[in-house]
Amino acid sequence: MASSAMLQNIAVASSAATSVARFRSIAAAPSSQRVALGQSHLGSAKVFFTPARIGSRSSSHRAATQVVALKDPSSQDNLKRAVAKKAIELVKSGMVVGLGTGSTSSMAIEELGNLIQANKLKDIVGVATSYQSKVLARQFGVKTVDLNDVNHIDIAFDGADEVDSGMSLIKGGGAAHTMEKVVDSIAKECVILIDETKVVKTLGLSFPVPVEVLPFALAPVLRALAALGGQPEIRTALRKDGPVITDLGNMVVDVRFPEGVKDPAEMETKINMIPGVIDNGLFINVAHKVLVGTKDGDETSVVEFAEFVSSMKSSTEGVSA
């Protein structure tokens, strides 16, 4: 059953107020971190460089900027851990496993490694979606191979920044969405692991759409993204001056849509049609299963998405009745 705290989270997650609050760090960023690009290059688009992980999803960052986050950040981590453990139950010996990126995926990689070390799973190979997941896999004893060395992926685990009721996703808070989309799309089963704060009514109201961009094409891509009604911001690193460079050597532009993304499938295609765009963080019809970590009082549970949504609806009906 959905808790009232959870319902509040959902309600807040889908409000514009949340969007403002989540991005208050951008507004509060010192001017040295908000460098307007030359307007001559960008036409009328107002574009700023913004620090990395603003609007992104490392647990500490999310805890600091996301008002929907559970009050105690460790509770959010507990939910992620519970989901990660549950998800790994789906893995069988001999499988090729897609290893997502981010804090939730990291826990899944660790749990997978634990089972391999305990000899409860054998002959597992992982396909990493980033340096991060590759390094973690090595650290936890999960053998990895290149995507080009396998002819299929049995199951992929990945996190998400937002999930709507149709299981469309925004991903890319860690700038890994291009490789993730390849691996997740190929997988026979793509399992998305989230805590309840990630579920929203409308994608993009709170979280920007990350777009991986060929550096050569940056200015025209920024103009084209603005022409789609977006507010593009180049993601910059937190502990390095300058832009975030992805594992594939490209830049990341976070695009905010003040009204949210009304038609995620159409927007995914439109953005990807812009020459110079490598891929964007809208994932449509990629997730086969979404596991949601929820908290009711002290009780943590993991439920399938449909169950989560229906318990949310029935609780909402109960509240409004």
Residues at the contact surface with ligand R5P, assessed by CB under 6 A = 57-58, 100-105, 158-161, 171-177, 180
**Beta carbon nearer to ligand R5P, 14 or 130:** 130
Q: How far is the CB of 276 from ligand R5P (least distance, A)?
A: 20
**Beta carbon nearer to ligand R5P, 42 or 107:** 107
User: Which structure tokens are listed for 278?
Assistant: 């490598």
- What span, in angstroms and rounded, lies between the C-alpha atoms of 237 and 192? 26
Q: How far is the CB of 249 from ligand R5P (least distance, A)?
A: 16
Q: How far is the CB of 160 from ligand R5P (least distance, A)?
A: 6
**Beta carbon nearer to ligand R5P, 126 or 173:** 173
Q: How far is the CB of 129 from ligand R5P (least distance, A)?
A: 8
Given a contact cutoff of 8 angstroms between Cβ atoms, the answer to whether 39 and 10 are in contact is no
**180 classed as catalytic:** yes
Q: b/e string for 122-156 if b means 16 or more Cβ within 10 A?
A: eebbbbbbbebbbebbeebebebeeeeeeeebbbb
**Beta carbon nearer to ligand R5P, 22 or 171:** 171
**Beta carbon nearer to ligand R5P, 154 or 161:** 161
- What span, in angstroms and rounded, lies between the C-alpha atoms of 212 and 156? 21
Q: How far is the CB of 38 from ligand R5P (least distance, A)?
A: 29
Q: How far is the CB of 144 from ligand R5P (least distance, A)?
A: 17
Given a contact cutoff of 8 angstroms between Cβ atoms, the answer to whether 163 and 305 are in contact is yes
**Beta carbon nearer to ligand R5P, 15 or 59:** 59
Catalytic residue among 180, 196, 212, 268: 180
**Beta carbon nearer to ligand R5P, 142 or 226:** 142
Q: How far is the CB of 196 from ligand R5P (least distance, A)?
A: 12
Catalytic residues: 180
